[in-house]
Chains A and B, each alone.
Chain A
Amino acid sequence: MQRGTITRRMDNVFDGLQSEFRSLCDIEDFKAKLLALKKSEGRSDRSSKLRILFDMFDACSIEYERGKDYEYYENLVMNSNIPRFSEIEDRMMLSLYNKYSDYPTPEEYINRIVDRLSCDEDNWDSDTLRVRILKQFIKYGNCLTYVASRKGQKETINIYCGGAYIKKYLTQKNKDTTVAKLTDGLHLLEDDIFDVLLTATKAQKKPNGTYGILKMVDDLASGKFRTGGSTKKSLYLFAMVYGMTFYSNTADIIDYKTDIETNLFRDYYNNNLMRFITTAYRGKLCEYDLDPSGQGINYKNFAEMVYLYYISKDCSPEEKIKSSNEMIFRIQTESFNKGAKNVAQTENQTIYYKGLVKNLDKNIYCEDILSKDEAAFEEFICENYNCDTYADSHSVGELQLETEQHTAHMEYLTILKDLIDLGMDLSHCNYGLWFTDIAAFKKKGYKSICDRRTDIDKEKFGEFIELLLGINSFMGHMVNEDVSEKTTESECSTPSKIKTKALYVDSPRDITRTSMIVAYYYYYNALHENDGREKWKNFEELFNDFKKGIDEKLEASYYHPLSGKNIFDVLVAFSSYAYLNI
């Protein structure tokens, strides 16, 4: 049995970081443990306090003898060459720098899925990723085109246009002999088919534009997340052509290779900030959905439920694509004709809607709505979901309905309230990443580290700084800051008033997992900054403590818990350690 390569790699990255962080103990860490040891003299917990101190000696390669008194260990700490925080800041940066490139980009995640789920007989391994995905859509999804009967007439429906251009391309490649079917010319399809995107207009790249399908495939392959639900729609279609599955916790099991939630919504479509350093994102941050909500599947959205219904059904990908698109169209039309149903919805019903397709309480007699027949399912959706995409006299995309996350927003507001209750002014919570001066890096470059360490590849290090800048932009700094020419003493004493966007999320529609973690970061720092040495935590202890606190809130909001697999999560906890340690 083989362990997934990326998962294995991620384990190594995080384990590696943890062991490196474990040795990042400064003098204050030791003093805190000495204090705890002193207080435990004559008590039963002395041995456990000693063990913690010994672990730190081991981690820092300091030789010691067991069974000695307090004074011995105090002298040992004072006379050993234990660095101060400022000294280990470089080590922290370098630890992260050495490991960051091991974090997978969204492109690597999608590549893994394609590798796993491609049919061996197709033999498309030597093609580029986007060519493989395009071929899959053409062969198994009929190029996202089908014929339907609408208003008594047969009509060709193009979910994404581009078939005509692909045919023209294949004809040219076939020495101007027309290819009867697109599937006949798949062997002629090469990566240069995407060249047209370089000069295409915005209209040509839209779903109904000349190159709609090419743009969608290119976005998927390079991990470019678009706003307005278009990325989500392409993910569901991708799941259908690759035969992915949905686990409802009833008569089924999780198939880890094909599970849509794990593979697409958790690993690929989350706020994986590694994408900031991919060529797709460089310099074009304004074009993309920078902060996907992190919620994954929106169980309140009727169209997503229709996609899941057909993903769960035992039929061909072509049938799934056609039937789901047609059902969504019928539901939208009925909703338009009859007017919006007064669907009884409270503000906290995500759990109710999730329970309709997922057996949350593990009731063994439960039947989910996905096992209903098509007519009954459609009727259920019409009766119980908001399907009105034409409300308020303007139309919205079907995937843009019910995007509010009331529960998550409430959890987020409680964090803000706790932060304010600690006496913090939100406008002062804008310091961003603490463990290094990102603004200075941006302005002056990173000469200091690179000058001291000639073994560092400046280009790679620049890429790493770009990643930190991306993360920092989520955590505090909203504008380009100039490096002050003033000295510390002469700097303005009033705090900066630059607002942190993540602390001003007014609507349940805009809440994201990232915002919640940022809010918690400022709360956690404020809560612990006056803890004193007695409650001092080293990085490992802090990460676990930070995780315990935020996970309760993330899970209550149906977000993924804090994870070492996500570089954003690791850097936030790391920054918190730095903030409390200085």
Chain B
Amino acid sequence: MINQFSNAGMHHLFNNAINQDAISTAQNNRYVAISLADGVSTCTAAQQGAIVACNTLNDLLINKAAFFFQFDEKQVAEIVISHILYNLRKQAAEDNEDISEYSSTISSVLIDTKAKKAVLINLGDGIILATAKGKANVLAMPDDSSLGCCVTTTMNAINSVAIKAIDIRMLDSIAICSDGAWRQMFNKNKLKPEVANILGNSEYGLLSEFLLKQKCFDDFSFVSVDLKEYTGRKTA
């Protein structure tokens, strides 16, 4: 089962602006792909950039899924970034805009339900979490945004994409969260106890409720996949 949730942050609500986070999901009889992109607020076409990046990557993952489990990390990074940039350039040319106006972060998870494996892709300050045995764990760390994190249009972004292949047999769920969401879920470097509890039980409906109660300045979104139906595990 896939859960997704996305909401505009207060900053955008006050400015009558739109939610610049984008989510894309897809599945077929073997693979599941989920992606989340967070448009850079200062860009004029941030939302469009996020949508293009998100859809491009998710389509690529689901259509060419098998390849991603064979490529090495560098090859995955190259193919991911080159595809996203190709479509962003096309969009920018159509709109007669500069490509940098379409910048966004991008995080994706591709799951092979048969082989019980997953490939994680993370560029920017999104986070990828997993739950197992009632506890949440960090699979892919957000970039240090105080240094101005890497986005899709950053030069040499290929070198900054985190790629990881994992075994999902022991996992209950995987979730991608935008920075607007995870910043509310963490207290400094640790998950807030109530969030750790929600994630530990893979209760993503409650996570939406929790996030709505917070005063999120930035857009806040997450997308998650319940893996128990694929792994045969029971909730802790």
- Mask of A343-378 contacts with B, CB within 8 angstroms, 1/0: 000000000000000000010110000000000000
- Which residues B208-234 have CB closer than 8 A to chain A? none
Asked whether A1 lies within 8 Å of B133 as measured between CB atoms, the reply is no
Q: How many pairs, one residue from A and one from B, have CB atoms within 8 Å of each other in the complex?
A: 63
- Which residues B109-165 have CB closer than 8 A to chain A? 127, 130, 132-133, 135-139, 141-142, 144-149, 164
Q: How near does chain B come to A245, taking the closest CB pair, in angstroms?
A: 4
Checking B137, B148, B189 against A245 with a beta-carbon cut-off of 8 angstroms, the contacting residue is B189
Asked whether A245 lies within 8 Å of B188 as measured between CB atoms, the reply is yes
Complexed CA–CA distance, A253 and B164 (Å): 17
Question: Which single residue of chain B is at the shortest CB-CB distance from A246?
Answer: B189
Asked whether B147 lies within 8 Å of A251 as measured between CB atoms, the reply is no
Interface-centre pick from B130, B144, B166, B196 (highest chain A CB count, 10 A):
B144
Known: A251-B135, A253-B138, A364-B139. A258 touches B189 (CB 8 A): yes
Checking A243, A250, A314 against B137 with a beta-carbon cut-off of 8 angstroms, the contacting residue is A250
Asked whether A258 lies within 8 Å of B188 as measured between CB atoms, the reply is yes
Asked whether A254 lies within 8 Å of B190 as measured between CB atoms, the reply is no
**Is A494 an interface position by the 8 A CB rule?**
no
**Is A267 an interface position by the 8 A CB rule?**
no
Checking B144, B170, B189 against A365 with a beta-carbon cut-off of 8 angstroms, the contacting residue is B170
Q: How near does chain B come to A13, taking the closest CB pair, in angstroms?
A: 16
**Is B191 an interface position by the 8 A CB rule?**
yes
**Is A549 an interface position by the 8 A CB rule?**
no
- Mask of A377-388 contacts with B, CB within 8 angstroms, 1/0: 000000000000
Asked whether B132 lies within 8 Å of A252 as measured between CB atoms, the reply is no
Asked whether B190 lies within 8 Å of A252 as measured between CB atoms, the reply is yes
Asked whether A251 lies within 8 Å of B141 as measured between CB atoms, the reply is no
Question: Which single residue of chain A is at the shortest CB-CB distance from B144?
Answer: A256
Asked whether B189 lies within 8 Å of A253 as measured between CB atoms, the reply is yes
Asked whether B138 lies within 8 Å of A250 as measured between CB atoms, the reply is yes
Question: Which single residue of chain A is at the shortest CB-CB distance from B125?
Answer: A1
**Is B71 an interface position by the 8 A CB rule?**
no
**Is A46 an interface position by the 8 A CB rule?**
no
**Is B86 an interface position by the 8 A CB rule?**
no
- Which residues B157-214 have CB closer than 8 A to chain A? 164, 166, 170-171, 186, 188-191, 193, 196
Asked whether A256 lies within 8 Å of B137 as measured between CB atoms, the reply is no
Asked whether A255 lies within 8 Å of B189 as measured between CB atoms, the reply is yes
Asked whether B148 lies within 8 Å of A1 as measured between CB atoms, the reply is yes
Complexed CA–CA distance, A246 and B139 (Å): 18
Checking B141, B147, B170 against A4 with a beta-carbon cut-off of 8 angstroms, the contacting residue is B147
Known: A364-B137, A364-B139, A365-B133. A247 touches B189 (CB 8 A): yes
**Is A452 an interface position by the 8 A CB rule?**
no
Complexed CA–CA distance, A258 and B193 (Å): 19
Interface pairs A-B: 3 shortest CB-CB: A255-B189, A245-B189, A252-B189
Name B's A-contacting residues (CB within 8 A): 127, 130, 132-133, 135-139, 141-142, 144-149, 164, 166, 170-171, 186, 188-191, 193, 196
Name A's B-contacting residues (CB within 8 A): 1-4, 7, 243, 245-247, 249-259, 314, 362, 364-365
In addition to A1-B148, A251-B137, A253-B138, 9 A-B residue pairs with Cβ atoms within 8 Å of each other are A1-B149, A4-B146, A251-B190, A253-B142, A257-B146, A314-B190, A364-B130, A364-B132, A364-B166
